[in-house]
């Protein structure tokens, strides 16, 4: 098997997930421009999820609901529930468990967030190929599949709509697979992987009512990238041969793990914008600039090659909650800080107890983080301590002690 093409890896991501959850609860919202917003007090609330119908009007995440209504007067607004004075995401977490449960019937999965999961399909693909009577794959097995980079060398068929174009590309690619040497062709493996993912996505919709998109390729980075290429309700195969063209105009920040600091530092250090431009540097150059781990990783990555394994894990690694306050004056006294720490601790206690019951595990460490308004980092400050008991009062006292050093007013004062 060719280098970098040994595995079949897929990433499945739910389409506008929180919106779909709300639409299932209230079917009147289905097929309409719709958003999920949290809190109502300021400008109708902040939008955290947007249906594809609403995106057509230019509505985006982080807009205020009132502003979004100016773009789309018929916009339906579903509200996130509140408890302990803060947003309560329980519904979405429970819906996530339903989805993960269906996916796990098909493959060993790595839950990557509330609405997405990676899976290594290499073994399942080999098994399916063994079971296949003919190695020919028909387009009707891949009804919602795009193949990135296909159709190739097309004369511009302006008249083709998106699905005709998709079908043409798929057929062209499948025809090219007929010359694959037996069962040992990387691209044939991707095609069979795509069939498995079509089946998995149908099962998810059948059992939960939720639709999703997926990417199928040889590693996690390419699978994640592919997933976003033809949303919603579609899946995209990304053969390694289509990577150079795709990367030639792909901003570095669009790649998994390069969205933040590392991506910015690459762009600044090397003076390049697109992923493809990284191929001009030698492995030694990249190693000198970015270190012996990151350098070689980048050298492979800009060629579409990556080896991070899919780790079998269905449960979140940590359980956490947070609340934002608009400006420092919102949280000015010790009593206020104590009050909100207690509310957060109450939610934690509930969720920790539930997790212990459902999953038979016990958390041992408590991390307390604070982000000061304006700071771009996830945390301005973060410390941890032992978590001996699931007890909101104790968690409140311990967290207050941890963040006390941040108080510049001094202990004797109320402020
Ligand atoms: N989410 C959030 N805040 C963020 C990112 C995500 O609250 N900064 C929530 C969203 O509300 C969303 C879910 O996590 O419904 C999944 O996020 P994501 O997959 O990025 O977006 P979707 O809303 O699912 O939309 P898409 O169809 O583009 O995947
Ligand atoms: Ca999603
Ligand atoms: Ca996601």
Name the residue with higher pLDDT: 158 or 324.
324
Which residue, judged by its Cα, is nearest atom 6 of ligand 1? Answer: 48
Span 279-303, average pLDDT? 97
DSSP state for residue 128 in the 8-state scheme: H
Same domain, 123 and 192: yes
Span 230-259, average pLDDT? 97
The answer on pLDDT for 306 being more than 80 is: yes
Answer yes or no: are the C-beta atoms of 194 and 201 closer than 8 Å: no
- Per-residue pLDDT, 145: 98
Same domain, 110 and 46: no
Same domain, 153 and 288: no
* Residue 151 preceded by cis peptide, ω within 30: yes
The answer on pLDDT for 415 being more than 70 is: no
Name the residue with higher pLDDT: 413 or 272.
272
- Per-residue pLDDT, 22: 98
Which residue, judged by its Cα, is nearest atom 25 of ligand 1? Answer: 16
Residue 298 to residue 306: CA distance in whole angstroms: 9
Report CA(115)–ligand 2 centroid distance (Å): 6
Query: Which residue in this structure is represented by tokens 């009062």?
Result: 393
Q: Is residue 318 assigned to a domain?
A: no
CATH of the domain at 108: 3.30.70.270
Same domain, 97 and 115: yes
Q: Out of 11, 15, 17, give the residue to mutate to test ligand 1, the one with the largest number of ligand atoms within 8 Å of its CB.
A: 17
Identify the domain containing residue 43 by its residue range. Answer: 17-83
Q: Is residue 259 assigned to a domain?
A: yes
CATH of the domain at 61: 3.40.1170.60
Give 166-220 pLDDT, tens digit per residue. 999 999 999 999 887 765 699 999 999 999 999 999 999 999 999 999 999 999 9
Least distant ligand from the CA of 61: 1
DSSP string, 211-274: -EEEEEESSHHHHHHHHTTT-SS-EEE--GGGHHHHHTT-BGGGSTT-SSHHHHHHHHHHT--B
Give 119-143 pLDDT, tens digit per residue. 999 999 999 999 998 878 999 999 9
Atom number of ligand 1 nearest to Cα 231: 27
The answer on pLDDT for 239 being more than 90 is: yes
Report CA(103)–ligand 1 centroid distance (Å): 19
Q: Are strands 76-79 and 34-38 parallel, antiparallel or unpaired?
A: parallel
Provide the sign of the torsion angle of the four alpha carbons 229, 230, 233, 238, taken in this order: negative
Chain Cα centroid distance, residue 392: 31
Among 58, 83, 108, residue at a domain's last position: 83
Q: Which segments of 321-409 are extended strands (E)?
A: 365-370, 381-386
What are residue 11's DSSP bridge partners? 118, 215
Residues within 6 Å of ligand 1 by CB:
13-18, 48-49, 114-115, 231-232
Q: For the chain, how are helix, strand and coil distributed in percent, rounded to 5? A: 45, 15, 40
Report CA(237)–ligand 1 centroid distance (Å): 22
The answer on pLDDT for 156 being more than 90 is: no
Report CA(43)–ligand 3 centroid distance (Å): 26
Q: Is residue 106 assigned to a domain?
A: yes
Name the residue with higher pLDDT: 375 or 274.
274
Which residue, judged by its Cα, is nearest atom 29 of ligand 1? Answer: 15
Give the chain's mean pLDDT. 94
Which residue, judged by its Cα, is nearest atom 13 of ligand 1? Answer: 17
Same domain, 96 and 225: yes
Q: pLDDT confidence of 21, banded at 50, 70, 90?
A: very high
Same domain, 141 and 25: no
Span 395-410, average pLDDT? 86
Q: Is residue 316 assigned to a domain?
A: no
Same domain, 24 and 96: no
Q: pLDDT confidence of 411, banded at 50, 70, 90?
A: low
Q: Out of 14, 15, 316, 322, give the residue to mutate to test ligand 1, the one with the largest number of ligand atoms within 8 Å of its CB.
A: 14
Which residue, judged by its Cα, is nearest atom 24 of ligand 1? Answer: 16
Q: What domain count does the chain have?
A: 4
Distance set, CA 110 to CA 120, 121, 128, 208, 257 (Å): 9, 12, 21, 19, 17
Which residue, judged by its Cα, is nearest atom 21 of ligand 1? Answer: 16
Same domain, 134 and 236: yes
Span 103-129, average pLDDT? 96
Same domain, 184 and 104: yes
**Cβ partners under 8 Å of residue 199, min gap 6:** 106
């Amino acid at each position: 098997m060719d280098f970098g093409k040994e595995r079949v890896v897929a990433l499945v991501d739910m389409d506008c997930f929180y919106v779909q959850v709300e639409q299932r609860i209230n079917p009147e919202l289905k097929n309409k421009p719709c958003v999920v917003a949290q809190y109502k007090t300021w400008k109708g609330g902040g939008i955290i999820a947007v249906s594809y119908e609403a995106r057509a009007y230019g509505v985006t995440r982080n807009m205020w609901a009132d502003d979004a209504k100016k773009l789309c007067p018929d916009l339906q607004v579903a509200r996130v529930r509140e408890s302990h004075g803060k947003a309560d995401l329980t519904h979405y977490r429970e819906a996530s468990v339903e989805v993960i449960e269906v996916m796990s019937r098909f493959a060993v999965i790595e839950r990557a967030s509330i609405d997405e999961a990676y899976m290594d399909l290499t073994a399942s693909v080999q098994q399916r190929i063994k079971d296949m009577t003919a190695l020919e794959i028909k387009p009707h097995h891949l009804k919602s599949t795009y193949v990135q980079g296909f159709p190739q060398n097309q004369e511009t068929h302006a008249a083709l709509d998106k699905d005709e174009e998709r079908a043409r590309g798929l057929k062209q690619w499948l025809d090219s697979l007929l010359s694959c040497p037996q069962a040992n062709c990387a691209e044939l493996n991707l095609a069979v992987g795509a069939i498995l993912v079509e089946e998995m996505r149908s099962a998810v919709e059948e059992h939960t009512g939720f639709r999703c998109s997926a990417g199928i390729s040889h590693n996690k980075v390419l699978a994640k990238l592919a997933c976003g290429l033809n949303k919603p309700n579609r899946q995209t195969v990304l053969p390694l041969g289509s990577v150079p063209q795709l990367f030639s105009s792909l901003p570095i920040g669009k790649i998994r793990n390069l969205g933040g600091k590392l991506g910015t530092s690459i762009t600044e250090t090397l003076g390049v914008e697109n992923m493809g431009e990284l191929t001009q540097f030698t492995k030694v150059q990249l190693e000198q600039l970015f270190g012996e781990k990151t350098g070689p990783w980048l050298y492979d990555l800009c060629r579409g090659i990556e080896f991070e394994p899919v780790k079998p894990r269905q449960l979140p690694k940590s359980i956490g909650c947070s609340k934002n306050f608009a400006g420092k004056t919102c949280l000015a006294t010790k009593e206020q800080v104590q009050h909100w720490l207690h509310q957060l601790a109450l939610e934690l206690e509930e969720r920790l107890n539930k997790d212990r019951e459902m999953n038979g595990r016990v958390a041992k460490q408590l991390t307390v983080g604070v982000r000061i308004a304006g700071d771009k980092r996830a945390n301005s400050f973060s410390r941890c301590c032992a978590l001996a008991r699931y007890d909101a009062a104790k968690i409140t006292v311990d967290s207050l002690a941890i963040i006390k050093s941040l108080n510049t007013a001094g202990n004797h004062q109320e402020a």
